[in-house]
Amino acid sequence: MPFILDTDTAQDDCVAILLGLFDPHADFRAITMVAGNVGFEQQIKNAHMTLSVAGKLGEVPVFAGCSQPMLQPWVSAEDVHGDGSGGLSMDFTGCEVEQEHAVDALLRITAESPGEVSIVAIGPLTNIATAVVKDRSFVKNVKSLYIMGGSNNGRGNITPVAEFNFYVDPEAAQIVFDAGFADIVVMPWDPVTFNDATLPRPAYNEMTSAGTPIATFFKAMCDTTLDFDEAAGIGGSTHPDSMTLATLLHPELIQQAGHYRVDVQPGNGLTRGYASMAWDTFKKEPNARVIEKADREGFFALLDGLLRTHTTPSRDVAGL
Ligand code: RIB
Ligand code: CA
């Protein structure tokens, strides 16, 4: 399954990278970086550190993309994730991003194999929207676009109505949902993350005690967010990003999905980033499939297998 991961690398984004590196169905073509969770340069370091922990530094090219949203001021999630490094670090000498801009890489890689490469977008949609605007044939060249974002008629997280990825760049999100992609799959925050992609602390403690570098890294990267999630009344460690990639690689994890018309509120007002997900009653032309239920046990089994994977880090990671 060839794919590109467009990410704002912190916490669960790093888990998605690890899943993409080890899943037997994954043909991991590129990591494209977008402004989101934490500082842009830190996100790039987090991506390189993740590749290093997996023992695969240099095996997947990292491209730097849009370091600011299209119109709205950037908003970070550092209050949720810290800087996304989990307090870990390594020698980043020589860990360079590719010369090519991420938007150009998205356009080139999908144009080289029209209709074969999917994109998994687990951060704000700035890079994806910019690619659409730069070359409209992009929409036709992308096999499927899997998006982590929005809530399906439920709670937001960054505000009562908005999920973070759509909130950071709502204009980009609307461009993407209007662009005409043949197959968009949305993995929403509410309710699916809560019901099927949240790891309760007892299972989290069990899984992260596997004694491998990946398990230790996973715990370091996710502890801060777990504390935040529980303080916010969420029942454990949230993993919507890795679930999004998992559903591309293992479609059987999607137990229920519906066709919806998805639109995102632009601007910087009270409802910035709100995602309207209109089901058939409203007689709107659908533009996406929205996951309504996923196989939580199957997903957790994937995560458990990932954390038990033995690796020799490419470089020493201090604190691992
Ligand atoms: O709202 C959830 C999204 O923002 C995920 O992509 C995660 O990275 C969080 O920061
Ligand atoms: Ca993310």
Q: What pLDDT sits at residue 107? A: 99
Q: How far is the CA of 72 from the centre of ligand 2 (A)?
A: 18
The CB of 245 under 6 Å from ligand 1? The reply is no
Q: What pLDDT sits at residue 211? A: 95
Q: Roughly what angle, to the nearest 10 degrees, separates helices 240-249 and 12-22?
A: 20
CB atoms within 10 A of CB 260: 26
* Cross-strand bridge partners of residue 33: 7, 64
- Do 33 and 45 meet the contact criterion of CB atoms below 8 Å apart? no
* Cross-strand bridge partners of residue 103: none
Q: How far is the CA of 118 from the centre of ligand 2 (A)?
A: 17
Q: What pLDDT sits at residue 84? A: 87
Reported as a single tens digit per residue, the pLDDT across 268-319 is 999 999 999 999 999 999 999 999 999 999 999 999 999 999 999 999 998 8
Q: How far is the CA of 4 from the centre of ligand 2 (A)?
A: 14
Ligand at minimal distance from the CA of 240 is 1
Residue type, 230: E
Tokens of 164: 């973070």
Q: How far is the CA of 34 from the centre of ligand 1 (A)?
A: 12
The CB of 164 under 6 Å from ligand 1? The reply is yes
Inform me whether the pLDDT recorded for 124 exceeds 90: yes
Closest residue by CA, ligand 1 atom 1: 164
Burial 138-147 (b: 16+ CB within 10 A, else e): bbebbbbbbb
Burial 82-114 (b: 16+ CB within 10 A, else e): bbbbbebebeeeebebeebbbbbbbbebbeeee
The label of the residue with tokens 């020698």 reads 91
The CB of 13 under 6 Å from ligand 1? The reply is yes
Reported as a single tens digit per residue, the pLDDT across 151-194 is 999 999 999 999 999 999 999 999 999 999 999 999 999 999 99
